[in-house]
Chain A
Amino acid sequence: MTTAPVKSNVPDRAGLKAWLSSDAPTSRGHARAVQFYMGWMKLYENKLAFLGFLIILSLVLMAIFAPLLATTEPNAQDLAKRLTAPGVDGHLLGTDELGRDIWSRLVYGSRITLLIVGIVAFTAPVFGLLIGTVAGYLGGWVDQALMRLVDIFLAFPKLILALAFVAALGAGIESAIIAISLTAWPPYARIARAETLTIRNADYISAVRLQGAGVMHIIIGHVWPLCLSSIIVRVTLDMAGIILTAAGLGFLGLGAQPPEPEWGAMISAGRKFILDHWWVAAMPGMAIFIVSLGFNLLGDGLRDILDPKKSQS
């Protein structure tokens, strides 16, 4: 069985598969590609997780190709056609109280959802990971101090704390993102600390200590990679909650401001007509439901895929 070390020398389909599932990778890149391929195969085999992955993928594609998918401008008003029922006059999901096409608004709204999710997903877990691993690895008074800080943040109800931050920072999508990030990191710190406590006395950590490596080198290079999988799982499972919090802030009028097509704000606007014109609130509600479900399915699947204990058995 030949292996192709250089990527440009791409072998045929069967050869590529063998290259990707090779037992003896020939370069760093190859080793990583094999790892990635194995993870991908596991995701592919887990039907529900793969469905979740497809939902998230379509959300991303929707955000990228919003101008192509939308039938009208998201903020274009047409008062003559206000509150048109779904399917009438080419309005796939109907129109709202100002005659704006709900489908187009949902498509553009996916950009806002993705922005919130993306920024929160990158800031909160990284900060929590840093705090948790440092606390867990160093122990002693550092651990005590950092964990009490975490306790203080955890003691507040999430939405209330976010509300307070938004009230202080002023309403708007940016404030909403910052507020959500600030309230989302403590659970990650908890998880990372718990993981670190099981890792810090492992022989491979002792071995790198014996080589004279510094504390941060060990934390980032050796502890982080092992905490990462449980953090990623937690992040995907939390995504649904983050979307809901963002929607909640939007619903309360503290998140995205009109006329931005944020899903939560759209539900908020639609609740006035919920009895006679259900679609105005129901459509963005459906969108939130589907995306939340997607993240939850993916997160559950990732738990199985990334859990090293499961892959060993």
Chain B
Amino acid sequence: MPGSDSAVMERKPWVAEATKDARLEIKDLNVYFGEGPDRFQAVKNVSVKVQQGGSFGIVGESGSGKSTVLRAVCGLVESWDGEIDIDGAPVSHKRDKVFARKIQMVFQDPYASLHPRHTVDRVLSEPLKLHGFDDIDGRVLRALDDVGLGADFRFRYPHQLSGGQRQRVAVARALMLEPEILLLDEPTSALDVSVQAEILNLFADLRKEHNLTYVMVTHDLAVVAHMCDEIAVMQHGEVVEVMDVEAMRSSTPETAYTQELLKASMGYDAEFFGDS
């Protein structure tokens, strides 16, 4: 393996660097599922730091625990220990409404993340009503406009929308409470490439407009290279490597696993994979 030990240390920002602008910091996160003899640790000692306004990517294959990290951060999984800090303040296991206005999430499958019996209008106005916002009509219309859907879509049901349109609605829903951090759980992996391009562009625009911080989980290295500045690679519940996007582009990751992932996402190569 090329590179001296000190060079490796330098490239590990999660070890010890200035902590000033971290919007989200995860320290020694462990997540467990099940109880007793069936207890299974899905995430092991994960520590990452996401800068204010940054876009952080977590890549890994199924079962690597990448989505579980996101679910622990937003409070959907409660059986974790370690520390999750937002703007330097640790969050508790039980989340309240104030927390909801800080972090929101966009889910993987737009066909499963919208309630089949609720209109777009209800999906978008519900968080506003829950939090006692005023000018609900105006906000709903602006949100639709923000994600590139017109007012025409307001009273449609999910089954009347295409996959891309549904994902736009899901993005709009996540933005209704004006959060600062958006967690993206494979937001384009269920979509066609042309639609994926539209949604990724939308994320880029929204990030600029609303000054958002992104944490994105995906198995697609090309997407993460496009979207993120910093990337953590996870395998079997552990972070095996954190690198910046340049290191990834120049194909100089440190671990063999990351090398293999990169190679696989470049396309089929009979010589590389044929004789394994």
Touch test A–B (CB under 8 Å): yes
Residue tally, chain B, CB below 8 Å to A: 38
**How many angstroms from the CA of A204 to the CA of B159 in the assembled complex?**
14
Minimal Cβ-Cβ distance residue in A for B116: A308
In the bound complex, residues from chain B placing their C-beta under 8 Å from that of A203 are: 107-109, 112-113
Residue tally, chain A, CB below 8 Å to B: 27
Contacting pair B156 A23 (CB below 8 A): yes
Minimal Cβ-Cβ distance residue in B for A23: B160
Contacting pair B95 A212 (CB below 8 A): yes
Segment at the interface with A among B20-28, B79-87, B124-132, B206-214? B124-132
Interface positions of A from 20 to 39, Cβ below 8 Å from B: 23-28, 30-31, 35
Interface positions of A from 188 to 233, Cβ below 8 Å from B: 202-204, 206-213, 217, 221-222, 225-226
Is residue B121 within 8 Å, beta carbon to beta carbon, of the partner chain? yes
In the bound complex, residues from chain B placing their C-beta under 8 Å from that of A209 are: 75-76
**Given contacts A28-B121, A209-B76, A210-B74, is CB(A204)–CB(B115) below 8 Å?**
yes
**Given contacts A23-B160, A204-B112, A206-B76, is CB(A28)–CB(B130) below 8 Å?**
no
The 8 Å CB contact of A35, one of B74, B115, B130, B157, is: B157
In the bound complex, residues from chain A placing their C-beta under 8 Å from that of B152 are: 24
In the bound complex, residues from chain B placing their C-beta under 8 Å from that of A23 are: 156, 160
Nearest chain A CB to B240 CB, angstrom units: 28
In the bound complex, residues from chain A placing their C-beta under 8 Å from that of B174 are: 207
Max chain B Cβ within 10 angstroms of own Cβ: one of A26, A208, A312: A208
Max chain B Cβ within 10 angstroms of own Cβ: one of A27, A31, A203: A203
Contacting pair B160 A212 (CB below 8 A): no
Q: In the complex, how many residue pairs between chain A and chain B have their CB atoms under 8 Å apart?
A: 79
Minimal Cβ-Cβ distance residue in B for A225: B117
Interface positions of B from 168 to 207, Cβ below 8 Å from A: 170, 173-174, 177
Nearest chain B CB to A220 CB, angstrom units: 13
Nearest chain A CB to B238 CB, angstrom units: 25
Is residue B64 within 8 Å, beta carbon to beta carbon, of the partner chain? no
**How many angstroms from the CA of A207 to the CA of B109 in the assembled complex?**
12
Contacting pair B116 A226 (CB below 8 A): yes
In the bound complex, residues from chain B placing their C-beta under 8 Å from that of A204 are: 112-115
Is residue B96 within 8 Å, beta carbon to beta carbon, of the partner chain? yes
Nearest chain B CB to A33 CB, angstrom units: 10
Nearest chain A CB to B251 CB, angstrom units: 35
**How many angstroms from the CA of A26 to the CA of B150 in the assembled complex?**
12
Contacting pair B159 A217 (CB below 8 A): no
Minimal Cβ-Cβ distance residue in B for A24: B152
Contacting pair B97 A212 (CB below 8 A): yes
Nearest chain A CB to B179 CB, angstrom units: 9
**How many angstroms from the CA of A222 to the CA of B117 in the assembled complex?**
9
Contacting pair A212 B96 (CB below 8 A): yes
The 8 Å CB contact of A226, one of B117, B119, B153, B159, is: B117
**Given contacts A31-B156, A203-B113, is CB(A210)–CB(B100) below 8 Å?**
yes
Contacting pair A208 B126 (CB below 8 A): yes
Contacting pair B130 A217 (CB below 8 A): yes
**How many angstroms from the CA of A226 to the CA of B112 in the assembled complex?**
13
Minimal Cβ-Cβ distance residue in A for B179: A210
**Given contacts A203-B109, A209-B76, A211-B130, is CB(A31)–CB(B157) below 8 Å?**
yes
The 8 Å CB contact of B130, one of A25, A31, A213, A226, is: A213
**How many angstroms from the CA of A28 to the CA of B23 in the assembled complex?**
39
The 8 Å CB contact of B119, one of A31, A210, A221, is: A31
Contacting pair B159 A312 (CB below 8 A): yes
Contacting pair A211 B126 (CB below 8 A): yes
**How many angstroms from the CA of A202 to the CA of B110 in the assembled complex?**
11
Q: Beta-carbon contacts of B118-144 to A below 8 Å, as 1s and 0s?
A: 110100001100110000000000000
Minimal Cβ-Cβ distance residue in A for B106: A207
Nearest chain A CB to B109 CB, angstrom units: 7
In the bound complex, residues from chain B placing their C-beta under 8 Å from that of A225 are: 115, 117-118
Contacting pair A211 B156 (CB below 8 A): no
Q: Can you list 27 A-B pairs, Cβ within 8 angstroms, ordered by A?
A: A24-B152, A24-B156, A25-B155, A30-B155, A31-B155, A31-B157, A203-B107, A203-B112, A204-B112, A204-B113, A204-B114, A206-B76, A207-B105, A207-B174, A209-B75, A210-B74, A210-B104, A210-B105, A211-B127, A212-B99, A212-B100, A213-B126, A217-B130, A225-B117, A226-B115, A226-B116, A312-B159
Beyond known contacts A25-B119, A213-B130: 20 more, CB 8 A cutoff: A23-B156, A25-B155, A31-B121, A31-B156, A203-B107, A203-B108, A207-B107, A207-B113, A207-B173, A207-B174, A210-B76, A210-B100, A210-B104, A211-B104, A211-B126, A211-B130, A212-B96, A222-B118, A226-B116, A226-B117
Ranked nearest first, the 6 interchain pairs of A and B with the lowest CB-CB distance are A212-B100, A203-B113, A212-B97, A25-B155, A31-B155, A203-B107
